[in-house]
Amino acid sequence: MKKIILQYLLLWSLFILIFILYRTLFITYNWSIYQETPFRSLLLSYVYGLKLDLSFIGYLMVIPSVFMGMASFIKPKLTRYFIFSYLSLILCIISLIELIDMEVYTHWGEKFDVMHLIYLRKPTQITNSINLATLWMPLLLFIILIYCNIKCSRWFSEKIVIPSTKRIRWKSPIAFFFLIALSLLPIRGGFSLVPLSLGIPINVGAVYFDSQNLSVNHAAINTLWNFGFSIKKILKMETQYHLMPEQQANSLFQELNGAYSVEPTRSLVLPSKPNVLLIILEGFSANGIEVLGGKTGVTPQFNRLSHEGVLFTNYYASGHRSNRGIGSIFSSYPGLPYDAIIENTLKTQRLPHLMRTFKNQSYNTAFYYGGEINFANLRAYFSQGKADLIKSKSDFPFSTSNSKWGVHDGIMFDTLFNDLQKTKNPFFYSLFTLSSHEPFDIPIPKKFGDQTISANFQSSMYYTDQCLGNFIEKAKKTSWWNNTLIVILADHGNTHIGNTTNGQKETFHIPMLWLGGALNVSDTVVSTLSCQLDLAPTLLQQLRIDHTDYFYGRNIFSPNYKPRAYYSYGDGFGVITDSMTQIYNAEINTSTFDGSFEPSKDYGKAVYQFISNDFLNR
């Protein structure tokens, strides 16, 4: 058994060395991109890249583990032949994809994934982009690598020691299960104490470590893992979304969304270059906020503060999860039932990003989150947004991780406040809270008890609301308050308060409140129907910053604004206008309506099809 395990570890080491080799080839092949990168950063790409390397190797090792662990039951000749054939095939596939990736990155600055195969439909797009005369180098490399792969596979298959089949060894089944377990563990990303025994599934964001140099992050990405992940995403997304002629869907969507406008708008912000602080409240639903028609006593601080700024009372989330809400807030990109665009790194590279927009206006930028920053690919997403600072659970002592999800909101608000005291103006900072996330464990007595999920959730809202109120009161006494706009909104709603269900519009009704000394109004209510997609254009228009890149969003205060909101949930889409609400269930291809509805204008299906098609082709 010991020899089997040693051979298993030898094969692991072989794969690790292979990916180190290809990472070196990738950097060398694209040296014109990396020649200015500090040597330390290049070394770190190997260290951080090991996470995805090990994850992908885990997949590769499952089948060899079966043969190695059960070798006593299989003829030695058959085992050697299989190991040789398997390694030869796998190593040649790795070589092919790695070399394609090197060439793709040279021309487009993107990691190769399954979406690039779409270009094969129109080969001229490839030939027009690539100088075919330069392909001799990767072709020569591929021939050399095939030869080396076969030699390496033969060497390993001949070196392995195979137990005799004459006497069945009882230890073989033990070795089998042990090796399978060793292979499966790194696939997910290993163990984590938070929130349960296994951590969140590993994603591309796990290897992002430099928010100022995306290229060095790309070097850390395991090409094969990234390619496989993109296949998984495509297969998951390939549901039936072609519900009407494309031209009809496009026309209905444009009619619903309205024309883009940069006309003069109602001014709420003083004409200076204010700081902007964006506070995103985890799961805060309007049904728990009294001033929005929700339950009394849950958010007394928010209720009080609502009279000091601008309260948006008819505001909706665009998705049912944080990964949808974050993309809608920062990139004005709609949520989808089956996927979140922020978890698709190649696609988010092509999106606008509030962090980047403000960075380009010479703002200092930062993102604070007390949880695991690799959750929902947040590290990669905000690194692409050019955040100067990303602060998360790993930046705090372990003793402060007093929540199953990480660092509680009280500590995070205090940290943000202390950092802002030292931050140069102007700044665009954002804090994403977490204490009101399941399982709603908070560091204070639960005001509403803990007998039900609803009571636990209300208590967690009360705690976060208290932290928010304390932060605002301290902020009012600072030197930066008078030139700061604070935007407070939720990432999504939920069903924990009231009798709403997942697809109902009431579930997606969320708060948005603007505060701060940079406002020229107070105790103001905006009752216009709007949604998260509209935040970026509305905010940027107030600050006189171009926002034409934010395609899906609209400026709420534009005279041409068409009130509408649309949201995704697990099974489909919801569309809200001033005259009707439509909920389309994609699973069973049916719609329910409230209000006036014209059968010829099936907005729910049109929105679903339009956004799905856009997502697929990004």
Single-letter amino acid, residue 54: L
Q: Please check whether residues 96 and 160 belong to one and the same domain.
A: yes
Alpha helices in 70-119 (DSSP H): 76-108
Q: At what angle do helices 223-237 and 76-108 cross, to 10 degrees?
A: 80
More confident residue, 76 or 90: 90
Let me know if residue 427 belongs to a domain: yes
- The structure tokens listed for 194 are 């938070």
Let me know if residue 437 belongs to a domain: yes
Q: At what angle do helices 39-69 and 2-29 cross, to 10 degrees?
A: 150
Give SS3 for 316: strand
- Please state the rounded mean pLDDT for residues 208-229: 88
- The structure tokens listed for 101 are 């990736």
- Please state the rounded mean pLDDT for residues 450-471: 95
pLDDT at 238 (0 to 100): 54
DSSP string for 401-463? --BTTBS-HHHHHHHHHHHHTTPPSSEEEEEE--TTSTT---SS--TT-SSSHHHHHHHHHHH
Categorize the per-residue pLDDT at 476 as very low, low, confident or very high, splitting at 50, 70 and 90.
Answer: very high
Categorize the per-residue pLDDT at 128 as very low, low, confident or very high, splitting at 50, 70 and 90.
Answer: very low
- Please state the rounded mean pLDDT for residues 123-141: 64
Q: Please check whether residues 417 and 273 belong to one and the same domain.
A: yes
- Alpha carbon distance 27, 59 (integer Å): 25
Q: Please check whether residues 568 and 537 belong to one and the same domain.
A: no
Categorize the per-residue pLDDT at 125 as very low, low, confident or very high, splitting at 50, 70 and 90.
Answer: very low
More confident residue, 592 or 278: 278
Q: Please check whether residues 187 and 304 belong to one and the same domain.
A: no
More confident residue, 141 or 500: 141
CATH number at residue 509: 3.40.720.10
Contact predicate 366/388, CB 8 Å: yes
459 φ/ψ sector (left φ>0, alpha ψ -120 to 50, else beta):
alpha
- The structure tokens listed for 322 are 């944080």
Q: Cα dihedral angle (245, 248, 250, 254), rounded to 10 degrees?
A: -170
Q: Please check whether residues 567 and 550 belong to one and the same domain.
A: no
Is it the case that residue 127 has pLDDT exceeding 50?
yes
Categorize the per-residue pLDDT at 193 as very low, low, confident or very high, splitting at 50, 70 and 90.
Answer: very low
Categorize the per-residue pLDDT at 198 as very low, low, confident or very high, splitting at 50, 70 and 90.
Answer: very low
Let me know if residue 253 belongs to a domain: no
Is it the case that residue 594 has pLDDT exceeding 80?
yes
Q: Is 19 exposed, middle or buried (0-12, 13-18, 19+ CB in 10 A)?
A: buried
pLDDT at 459 (0 to 100): 97
- Please state the rounded mean pLDDT for residues 259-275: 81
* Range of weakest confidence among 20-29, 201-210, 236-245, 385-394: 236-245
Q: Please check whether residues 406 and 540 belong to one and the same domain.
A: yes
Q: Which of 546, 561, 576 is the last residue of a domain?
A: 561
Q: Please check whether residues 540 and 613 belong to one and the same domain.
A: no
283 φ/ψ sector (left φ>0, alpha ψ -120 to 50, else beta):
left
CA 549, 554, 560 angle in degrees (round to 5)?
Answer: 125
Percent of the chain whose pLDDT exceeds 90: 56
Count Cα atoms within 13 angstroms, Cβ side, for 88.
12
Q: Which of 561, 579, 602 is the last residue of a domain?
A: 561
Is it the case that residue 122 has pLDDT exceeding 80?
no
pLDDT at 402 (0 to 100): 79
Domain span including residue 124: 2-234
pLDDT at 175 (0 to 100): 60
**How does 132-146 read in b/e, with b if 16+ C-beta sit within 10 Å?**
eeeeeebeebbeebe
Q: Please check whether residues 542 and 582 belong to one and the same domain.
A: no
Q: Is 23 exposed, middle or buried (0-12, 13-18, 19+ CB in 10 A)?
A: buried
Closest by CA position to 302, among listed 327, 278, 333, 281: 281
More confident residue, 177 or 611: 611
Q: Which of 533, 561, 589 is the last residue of a domain?
A: 561
Is it the case that residue 164 has pLDDT exceeding 70?
no
Contact predicate 216/41, CB 8 Å: yes
Q: Please check whether residues 571 and 551 belong to one and the same domain.
A: no
3-state SS, one letter per residue, for 495-560: CCCCCCCCCCHHHHEEEEEEECCCECCCCEEECCCEEHHHHHHHHHHHCCCCCCCCCCCCCCCCCC
Contact predicate 386/359, CB 8 Å: yes
- CB within 8 A of 211, min separation 6: which ones? 382, 383, 385, 386, 387, 388, 389, 390
More confident residue, 607 or 4: 607
Let me know if residue 391 belongs to a domain: yes
**pLDDT per residue as tens digits for the range 42-79:** 999 999 999 999 999 988 988 887 776 666 666 777 87
Percent of the chain whose pLDDT exceeds 70: 87
Highest mean pLDDT among 102-116, 144-158, 398-412, 472-486: 472-486
Closest by CA position to 462, among listed 438, 432, 435, 489: 435
Q: Please check whether residues 544 and 592 belong to one and the same domain.
A: no
Q: At what angle do helices 453-475 and 409-420 cross, to 10 degrees?
A: 20
Let me know if residue 354 belongs to a domain: yes
Q: Which residues share a beta bridge with 459?
A: none
Q: At what angle do helices 223-237 and 603-617 cross, to 10 degrees?
A: 160
pLDDT at 162 (0 to 100): 60
Highest mean pLDDT among 285-294, 341-350, 435-444: 285-294
Let me know if residue 486 belongs to a domain: yes
- Alpha carbon distance 268, 430 (integer Å): 20
Categorize the per-residue pLDDT at 590 as very low, low, confident or very high, splitting at 50, 70 and 90.
Answer: confident
Let me know if residue 102 belongs to a domain: yes
Count of structural domains within the chain:
3
Count Cα atoms within 13 angstroms, Cβ side, for 470.
15
Contact predicate 220/26, CB 8 Å: no
pTM to 2 decimal places: 0.79
Q: Please check whether residues 505 and 366 belong to one and the same domain.
A: yes
> What are the backbone angles phi and psi of residue 416, rounded to the nearest 5°?
-60, -45
- Please state the rounded mean pLDDT for residues 540-558: 95
- Alpha carbon distance 368, 378 (integer Å): 11
- Please state the rounded mean pLDDT for residues 192-202: 50
pLDDT at 595 (0 to 100): 82
* Range of weakest confidence among 165-174, 209-218, 347-356, 434-443: 165-174
Cα 478 to Cα 391, 420, 474, 482, 519, distances in angstroms: 22, 10, 7, 8, 16
More confident residue, 375 or 408: 408
- Alpha carbon distance 196, 456 (integer Å): 19
Q: Please check whether residues 134 and 224 belong to one and the same domain.
A: yes
As a whole number of Å, the end-to-end CA separation of the chain is: 50
**pLDDT per residue as tens digits for the range 331-387:** 999 998 878 899 888 899 899 999 999 999 999 999 999 999 988 889 999 999 999
Let me know if residue 244 belongs to a domain: no
Is it the case that residue 126 has pLDDT exceeding 60?
no
- Average predicted confidence (pLDDT) for the chain: 87
